[in-house]
């Protein structure tokens, strides 16, 4: 199963998030990007084979190289959840949430980062927080097509009902 299938409601590309909130952002070099891309590729292959024990250390290494990439933290959390490591998944999901919050705070025009926060709150079992954040985002960004479509399609409810989502949520 590819990582894109894991996140159908939020088919957002993996982003290298460089925003800091009290933290100095990691200066990402081409070499770091290449190394992380290779790790992610190998982890994706392992995930397709459902070899989460192989994928988990690759993803853990990727997030240590570029810690501000929230999407990679989600992938790590998913691998850990598939390995029945709920505490490790919770920790990774929280890191993802923090990365997305920093990214949005640094650039409020990046509303995709709000949708990612909604997704991670739902993964953490914080459905009320997810709904509240989405409601606030819809009010704060009334012309943002992605947010309005997400609300209009009742994507949270669809996401929560999805068996693949349930398998990786806490």
The CATH number that applies at residue 143 is 1.25.40.10
Buried b (16+ CB within 10 A) or exposed e, 66-94: bbbbbbbbbbbbbbbbbeebeebbbebbe
Q: Please check whether residue 133 lies inside any domain of the structure.
A: yes
Euclidean distance between CA atoms 147 and 166, whole angstroms:
22
User: Looking at residue 9, what is its pLDDT?
Assistant: 31
Asked whether residue 50 is domain-assigned, the answer is yes
Selection from 76, 119, 81 nearest residue 95 by Cα: 76
118 in a domain, yes or no? yes
Interacting residues of 84 by C-beta distance below 8 A, sequence separation 6+: none
Structure-block tokens of residue 49: 């084979």
| Structure confidence at residue 24 (pLDDT) | 60
pLDDT of residue 27: 87
The pLDDT value recorded for residue 82 is: 98
Query: Is residue 164 situated within a structural domain?
Result: yes
pLDDT along the chain (170 residues), means of 10: 38 33 71 97 98 98 97 98 98 98 95 97 98 96 95 94 97
Q: Is residue 18 part of a domain?
A: no
Q: What is the pLDDT of residue 2?
A: 42
What is the predicted pLDDT for the residue at 26? 76
In a domain, 90, yes or no: yes
At 49 the pLDDT is 98
* Residue range of the domain that includes 137: 3-7+30-168
Residue 110 falls within a domain, yes or no? Answer: yes
Q: Structurally, how many domains does the chain consist of? A: 1
Is there a domain that residue 20 lies in? no
pTM: 0.84
Residue 75 tokens, joined: 């992938």
User: What are residue 163's phi and psi, to 5 degrees?
Assistant: -60, -35
């Amino acid at each position: 199963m590819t990582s894109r299938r894991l996140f159908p409601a939020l088919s957002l590309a993996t982003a290298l998030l460089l925003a800091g909130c009290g933290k100095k952002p990691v200066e990402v070099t081409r070499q770091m990007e290449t190394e992380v891309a290779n790790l992610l590729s190998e982890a994706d292959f392992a995930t397709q084979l459902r070899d989460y024990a192989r994928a988990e250390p690759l993803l853990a290494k990727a997030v240590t190289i570029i810690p501000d990439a929230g999407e990679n933290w989600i992938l790590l959390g998913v691998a850990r959840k598939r390995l029945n490591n709920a505490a490790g998944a919770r920790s990774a999901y929280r890191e993802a949430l923090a990365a997305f919050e920093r990214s949005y705070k640094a650039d409020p025009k990046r509303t995709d980062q709000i949708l990612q926060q909604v997704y991670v709150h739902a993964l953490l079992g914080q459905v009320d927080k997810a709904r509240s954040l989405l409601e606030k985002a819809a009010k704060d960004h009334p012309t943002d097509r992605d947010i309005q479509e997400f609300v209009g399609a009742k994507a949270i409810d669809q996401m929560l009902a999805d068996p693949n989502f349930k398998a990786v949520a806490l």
